[in-house]
Amino acid sequence: MGLTQGIHRAVQLYANRPALVAEGVARDWATFADRVARLAGVLTAQGVAAGDRVAMLGHNSPRFVEYYFATLWAGAVMVPVNTRWALPEKIHSLNDSGARLLLVDGPFAGEANALRRACPGLENLVLRDSGGGSWEGAPADNGPDADAIGDALDYEAALAQAQAVPDARRGGEDLAALFYTGGTTGRAKGVMLSHDNFLANSMNALVNLGITADSVHLHVSPLFHVAGGSRVFTTTVAGGTHAVIPRFEPDLFLEAIARFKVTITVVVPTMLNALLQHPRLDDYDLSSLQLLTYGASPMPESLLRRAMARLPGVTFLQSYGMTELSPVATCLSPRYHKFEGPDAGRIRSAGQAVFNADVAVMDAEDRALAPGEVGEICVRGPMVMLGYWQQPELTAQTLRGGWMHTGDAGYLDDEGFLFLVDRVKDMIISGGENVYSAAVENVLYKFPGVHECAVIGVPDDRWGEAVYAIVVAEPGVQIDEQALLDHCREQLAGYECPKTIDLRAEALPKSGAGKILKADLRAPFWQDQQRGIH
């Protein structure tokens, strides 16, 4: 079975039902399938063959969803490019993957020639419409290179002239995509994900999320990340409707839910926080929204309580995983989003293993630990990646013993609920004691007026590493540093309490997936050190 099979089934069962909706766009499954087959024809006419890599650089759009399936329809491999990377990082992903063709959309047209010059393997470009402005209403970045692209194809013009080609029907262990990850900690690495990997994730999502042909999924998470991309495949497998907006902005997000009658979407904590602070949240009709899923970074319990109280008609579900797991390994269902009663107490967990995953916690010698003991979270199952592109040593180290070693620290309880503690590499060792930053951050978030925070380890002559908290207050709020420290001392051991609380006015740096970039926050403190830990 391959990832394009869902399109064939949807055309057979739901040809005239909506497949894709966006601002100014409404396409049924028959139309969507035809456009995918013709875009695959454009790719093959440009020389793309089975196994070739095809990249895309752009914001979320109907074209991005078409790119996903047209690339696979042509038998090729997807390489979504992170729009938030600097130009050298984009060049690295294109050169490392050996991408043969690049689709450039919207405001990124101005980078096209710079990318072509720096990427000798990149033979062809296909551009967005040339009609002045992209579908989301943002003007194209015409830049110094945009008028000199020359032989690049106009997307819609090429599609109109192309011949539909038969589906290559690749599937199983065939490589489907390279998603680049890890750019915040070093050279980004290409995670190799197969058709089977994504389908294993989709089967889980159909069960856990209840996605059906009647579902309308809002794609707001960037499609250059697997968290957003995997939902494209699941929605298609179910024959549901894709609703697309270019980026997360509270008004844009809320308007889309009301307009397209969205039933399900996925957010990260920073998005949810922004929604709850929106002064006109109650003005939007959110009655269609049934399920709000979240993940990617720890959800403060105080934030979750506020969200559940403010959105009483919406159920919540947490997923835990990573790119290498396609991406989900555990799930905390709505049943356990309770603060009272027999199902309470699990809301601080990341849930239990999805039905086709084995989840274990292991020590440094890869021995399984007993419930309650903290170690490295390891996963095995059909969702585990094929490996890292052209990095066999790193692949062998990460997949040793048949288990994917996540680099995350946590523990399992007696009922198999997984409790995340932190990234192994983010653990702070202060005076010989382990400090897990997520636990400190959860306490900080409970203090009134804290908008966002990050806890890092910084060099300390006495303790080796000191706990350092960076805190941003909610707009218009002044935080008393001593009161916040007293609050921490009430709930944490002495060695866990921040030695310094750095109150900042500006938002903390974040990745494309909405995660706070702790590596960026640490860098100034460790730049003169020979090692990044003490």
Reduce the secondary structure of 348-368 to three states and give it as a string: CCCCEECCCCEEEEECCCCCE
- Which pLDDT does position 390 carry in this prediction? 95
Q: According to the model, what pLDDT value does residue 182 have?
A: 63
Q: What is the pLDDT of residues 248-267, one digit of tens each?
A: 999 999 999 999 999 999 99
Collapsing DSSP to helix, strand or coil, 99 comes out as coil
Residue 204 pLDDT > 60: yes
Q: What integer is the mean pLDDT of 492-514?
A: 89
Mean pLDDT, range 289-303, rounded to an integer? 82
What is the predicted pLDDT for the residue at 320?
92
Cβ(87)–Cβ(57) under 8 Å?
Answer: no
Distance linking the first and last C-alpha atoms of the chain: 49
Within 180-238, residue ranges assigned H as helices are 195-209, 226-238
CA-wise closest residue to 204 among 298, 77, 333: 333
Taking alpha carbons only, the member of 434, 432, 431, 414 closest to residue 422 is 434
The 10s digit of each residue's pLDDT in 353-411 is 999 999 999 999 999 999 999 999 999 999 999 999 999 999 999 999 999 999 888 99
Q: Among candidates 109, 119, 117, 116, which has minimal Cα distance to 146?
A: 109
Given a contact cutoff of 8 angstroms between Cβ atoms, the answer to whether 247 and 218 are in contact is no
Both structure tokens of 80: 């979504």
Q: Which residue has the higher pLDDT, 463 or 91?
A: 91
Hey, which of 75-89, 287-301, 390-404, 517-531 has the most confident mean pLDDT? 390-404
Name which residue leads in pLDDT, 122 or 512: 122
**CB neighbour class for 441 (10 Å; exposed up to 12, middle 13-18, buried from 19):** buried
- Cβ count near 477 (within 10 Å): 11
Q: pLDDT value at position 532?
A: 52
The pLDDT, as a whole number, for residue 504 is 95
Closest CA to 462 of 430, 498, 495: 430
* Most confident option among 72-81, 348-357, 422-431: 72-81
Q: Is the CATH number 3.30.300.30 carried by domain 427-526?
A: yes
Model pLDDT, residue 280: 95
Mean pLDDT (whole number) for 473-488? 94
Cα gap 229→243, rounded to integer Å: 13
Measured distance CA(287)–CA(124) in Å, rounded: 45
Q: Minimum mean pLDDT among 116-125, 273-282, 486-495: which range?
A: 486-495
Which CATH entry fits the domain spanning 248-423: 3.40.50.12780, 3.90.245.10, 3.60.21.10, 3.40.640.10? 3.40.50.12780
Element (H, E) at 429: strand 428-430
Q: For residues 174 and 159, give the distance between their C-alpha atoms in angstroms, rounded to a whole number.
A: 26
Contact between residue 335 and residue 316 where contact means Cβ atoms under 8 Å apart: no
Supply the pLDDT for residue 183: 41
Please tell me if the domain spanning 27-193 has the same topology as the one spanning 248-423: yes
Given this model, what pLDDT does residue 132 score?
A: 40
Please report how the helices 250-260 and 269-276 are oriented relative to each other, as an axis angle in degrees rounded to 10: 90
With contact defined as beta carbons under 8 Å apart, do 105 and 58 qualify? yes
Q: How far apart are CA 359 and CA 375, in angstroms?
A: 12
Mean pLDDT, the chain, whole residue set? 90
Domain ranges of the chain: 27-193, 248-423, 427-526
Span 167-192, average pLDDT: 85
pLDDT the model gives residue 470: 97
Residue whose tokens read 């170690």: 375
Q: Which homologous superfamily is 27-193 in?
A: ANL, N-terminal domain (3.40.50.12780)
Residue 145 binned pLDDT confidence (cut-offs 50, 70, 90): very low
**Of the ranges 214-228, 293-307, 395-409, which one carries the lowest mean pLDDT score?**
293-307
- Six-digit token pair at 108? 């990124």
User: For a pLDDT cut of 70, what percent of the chain falls above it?
Assistant: 92
- Cβ within 8 Å of residue 156, ≥6 positions away: 129
Burial 486-513 (b: 16+ CB within 10 A, else e): ebbeeebeebbbbbebbeeeeebebbbb
Give percent of the chain with pLDDT exceeding 90.
72
315-351 per-position pLDDT tens digit: 999 999 999 999 999 999 999 999 999 999 898 899 9
Q: How many CB atoms neighbour CB 156 within 10 A?
A: 15
pLDDT of residue 301: 80
3-state secondary structure of 31: helix
* Mean pLDDT along residues 183-211: 87
Which of 129, 154, 177, 167 is CA-nearest to residue 34?
167
Name, in order, each residue with C-beta under 8 angstroms of 144's C-beta and a sequence gap of 6 or more: 110
* Per-residue pLDDT at 513: 76
Per-residue pLDDT band at 298 (split at 50, 70, 90): low
Phi–psi pair at 37, nearest 5 degrees: -65, -35
Q: What is the pLDDT of residue 15?
A: 98
Higher model confidence: residue 39 or residue 528?
39
Does position 186 have pLDDT exceeding 70, yes or no?
Answer: no
Residue 225 has pLDDT above 50, yes or no: yes
pLDDT band at 275 (very low <50, low <70, confident <90, very high): very high
* pLDDT value, residue 18: 98
Is the pLDDT higher at 30 or at 86? Answer: 30
CA angle 231, 232, 234 (to 5 degrees): 60
Whether residue 106 is predicted with pLDDT greater than 90 in this model: the reply is: no
In angstroms and rounded to an integer, the radius of gyration of the C-alpha atoms of the chain is 23
Mean pLDDT of 129-148: 44
Q: What confidence category does residue 139 fall into, taking pLDDT thresholds of 50, 70 and 90?
A: very low
Q: 192, 390 in Cβ contact below 8 A?
A: no
Q: Is the peptide bond before 327 cis (omega within 30 degrees of 0)?
A: yes
Q: What pLDDT sits at residue 185? A: 42
Q: How many helices (H) and strands (E) does the chain have?
A: 15, 26
Q: How far is residue 392 from each of residues 377, 389, 395, 471, measured CA to CA in Å?
A: 22, 8, 5, 40
